Structure 1
């Protein structure tokens, strides 16, 4: 027997960004249905995803506002300082967020922890319905409504559909929205290590000719490693036995935290940049990786998606309070205007950083090293970059704005 459901907003993709958008909408009194193709039990398995996400201060603020943070905070690593170095150069750039702003830059969380929280909180919200594992088989958008058919015979009618279904977005493809995409010919090797000494809540970013090597603080003496190598060499490194892998990792990590031990498995992810030619269409909006995917060099991928989610949710909530159509063109145009510049600036910035630092050209290396040292001595520049890393620059949704430290 077929089921017919009606809602204000249909979100396709219940991952980190889609789940956050759903929580924000439901919290604001908007009826939302989330459809996700993956089984929730699979999503929560430790082997499903080895990645961690840097949670900027602005995203932390949103988590607090939505009642999500209490479910995550005990598993969060704190980022209080960031140290950037280039190869073996003695010059460096150091940021101390407590000194400059009085609060941390942000936090490190396993993606699994965020998923676990969303999957616990979202189904309990009065205005939210979570359907998984369910697949979309058709999507029809007219001037007045959206009609979606699922693989189990369910039909959903909504005023707006939000595509939060990742880089290969089914929603985006259904709307014939093209993407621009290129590969960096780099692969990120991801693992977690435990160190003899405390990391003191300091995130390290070492730029090497093969790409950045990031050491990101997790709870206790654990650190998440994002190790970028050429796509030719990465499979060889990932396939090494434990002893040889440890030796290669130790050579890059250094001994400043004493002995290191790899805990848990290794993962690898090819690195690309892509962005959709447009993020809106008739009664349709794209958020997160469905709209834009960037290199992890600045750790801003999830943060930019979260800003999409919170900005769009704010516009929809305000529109519903006025008794107006939440899928009307004005909502979508305002969303596109709000997020277009911010997203494309971050895409361009991360792309430029990767290309600037992923080489060993002498004059370029000298110029960037001097640049790091100069910025390190300019308090006003450091404060601006600190605020940017915290996600507190630009026009923010209300729930992401800074309040008292929590």
Structure 2
């Protein structure tokens, strides 16, 4: 008998990355009654290759991952951030004075953030999705088009299948096909900067300290990984970044060492560095007719504070809670009432976070001496304000604002 060309599901998700995969697991595991999930992903289910990025997970994000049974597999290789140092000086400065630091504030009640490797997180999500009986994966495949009516949405796949569900979720990245089909426009701009990410090994232990060094071309972050290893997130002028990536490894390591400093001893590259253009992008609406956007499909922010993934996971937790609450009340999970609740919850918070990071990048990516003096004074004031520092730590840990229950460690 030929396979049916139309299949029914409780929810269809486009994109099986960090946000889409985690959302699929949350809806499959945490809804009050079984909810079958279709996950459509353009990538194959082949093992994930090594990814040079180190990803900062807030304490709130780890609670969400724990709720969907991912954190136990990730925790052994996750590096707690035990302290943060912020410096601001020219590239050729002999000394990098300390302007702002977080130490004891980070350790009250446990670490506020952890570093995990992107490849390990993605492969852990993929393995969990593949093992979950309530999730059907369609990969490699994509949603070319979709249509809605009063009862649901029909998603038409490139393979010829049609998937029907009450709600469709776009987790298909910053160039979201679903957002395009829905006619949702974006506000945004490109930066004259590129991001360079790399993993390095070094002689001396980092002791869990993260360093954010503000340079005229953009922030340079050293993020601790397990062992004598660190992840580099390097914002550089786009033309300089292109030249660095085109040069040989010795020249790249020499430039990297100039920025890295000597406190951790000699460094060497682990794997190939990666480079990508930087941009700010915010969808004008996070919802359409029977459509919700999460993760990069809804917003792309500057990597300055490493919050892009955490903002996306906050979308996941909020949408999961919204759907679970609607199911308990017997409501249509794809209705405009349900979707507007999600939008009200997430759009302002995402826009605010993205705007703050954009403003910080513009403020610190300059070599203007008077402006440097003013911002360094501000950093010094924050460093001497315990209450303000504790608030910033709570913000980084994902503990401020209207926090979804899953990110507070509460059951739905």
User: Is the CA contact 2:10–2:36 (under 8 Å) kept in the aligned structure 1?
Assistant: yes
User: Is the CA contact 2:146–2:156 (under 8 Å) kept in the aligned structure 1?
Assistant: yes
Structure 1 residue 98, shift from structure 2 partner: 5.7
Q: Distance in 1 between matches of 2:350 and 2:186?
A: 14
Q: Distance in 2 between matches of 1:35 and 1:195?
A: 40
Name the counterpart of 1:36: 41
Q: Distance in 1 between matches of 2:257 and 2:202?
A: 11
Describe the superposition over 1:71-106 as per-residue Cα deviations: whole angstroms up to 9, x where unpaired: 112222221111111125524110125655231121
Name the counterpart of 1:45: 49
Describe the superposition over 1:149-205 as per-residue Cα deviations: whole angstroms up to 9, x where unpaired: 112221110000010000000000000111112111101111111111000101110
User: Is the CA contact 1:97–1:104 (under 8 Å) kept in the aligned structure 2?
Assistant: no
For structure 1, which segment, 228-237 or 129-138, has the greater mean C-alpha deviation from structure 2 after superposition?
A: 129-138
For structure 1, which segment, 290-299 or 234-243, has the greater mean C-alpha deviation from structure 2 after superposition?
A: 234-243
User: Is the CA contact 2:82–2:107 (under 8 Å) kept in the aligned structure 1?
Assistant: no
Name the counterpart of 1:231: 238
Name the counterpart of 2:57: 55
1:384 and 2:391 matched = yes
User: Is the CA contact 1:143–1:282 (under 8 Å) kept in the aligned structure 2?
Assistant: no
1:294 and 2:298 matched = no
Name the counterpart of 2:166: 159
Describe the SS at the equivalent of 1:393.
coil
Q: Distance in 1 between matches of 2:396 and 2:152?
A: 39
Q: Distance in 2 between matches of 1:393 and 1:376?
A: 20
Structure 1 residue 124, shift from structure 2 partner: 2.2
Q: Distance in 2 between matches of 1:117 and 1:348?
A: 31
Name the counterpart of 2:177: 170
User: Is the CA contact 1:81–1:203 (under 8 Å) kept in the aligned structure 2?
Assistant: yes
Alignment counterpart, residue 77 of structure 1, candidates 79, 91, 109: 79
User: Is the CA contact 1:91–1:370 (under 8 Å) kept in the aligned structure 2?
Assistant: no
For structure 1, which segment, 169-178 or 18-27, has the greater mean C-alpha deviation from structure 2 after superposition?
A: 18-27
Structure 1 residue 50, shift from structure 2 partner: 2.7
Counterparts of 1:5-404 in structure 2, within 5 Å, are 5-29=7-31, 30-41=35-46, 44-46=48-50, 49-87=51-89, 88=93, 90-96=97-103, 101-402=108-409
Structure 1 residue 126, shift from structure 2 partner: 3.5
User: Is the CA contact 1:315–1:331 (under 8 Å) kept in the aligned structure 2?
Assistant: yes
Q: Distance in 2 between matches of 1:50 and 1:250?
A: 18
Describe the superposition over 1:23-76 as per-residue Cα deviations: whole angstroms up to 9, x where unpaired: 11111233221100111216x022xx4322110110011111211011112222
Q: Distance in 2 between matches of 1:388 and 1:184?
A: 25
Q: Distance in 2 between matches of 1:196 and 1:220?
A: 10
CA RMSD of aligned residues (A): 1.4
What TM-score, normalized by structure 1, do the two folds share? Answer: 0.95
User: Is the CA contact 2:144–2:156 (under 8 Å) kept in the aligned structure 1?
Assistant: yes
Describe the superposition over 1:323-373 as per-residue Cα deviations: whole angstroms up to 9, x where unpaired: 221111111111011112210110110000000000011111001101111
User: Is the CA contact 1:163–1:171 (under 8 Å) kept in the aligned structure 2?
Assistant: yes
For structure 1, which segment, 118-127 or 93-102, has the greater mean C-alpha deviation from structure 2 after superposition?
A: 93-102
- List alignment gaps of at least 5 residues for structure 2: none
Q: Distance in 2 between matches of 1:260 and 1:72?
A: 26
- List alignment gaps of at least 5 residues for structure 1: none
Structure 1 residue 4, shift from structure 2 partner: 2.1
Report the CA distance shift for 1:90/1:52 in structure 2 as closer, same or farther (over 3 A). Answer: closer
Moved over 4 A (4+): 97-100
For structure 1, which segment, 239-248 or 378-387, has the greater mean C-alpha deviation from structure 2 after superposition?
A: 239-248
User: Is the CA contact 1:91–1:369 (under 8 Å) kept in the aligned structure 2?
Assistant: no
Aligned length: 400
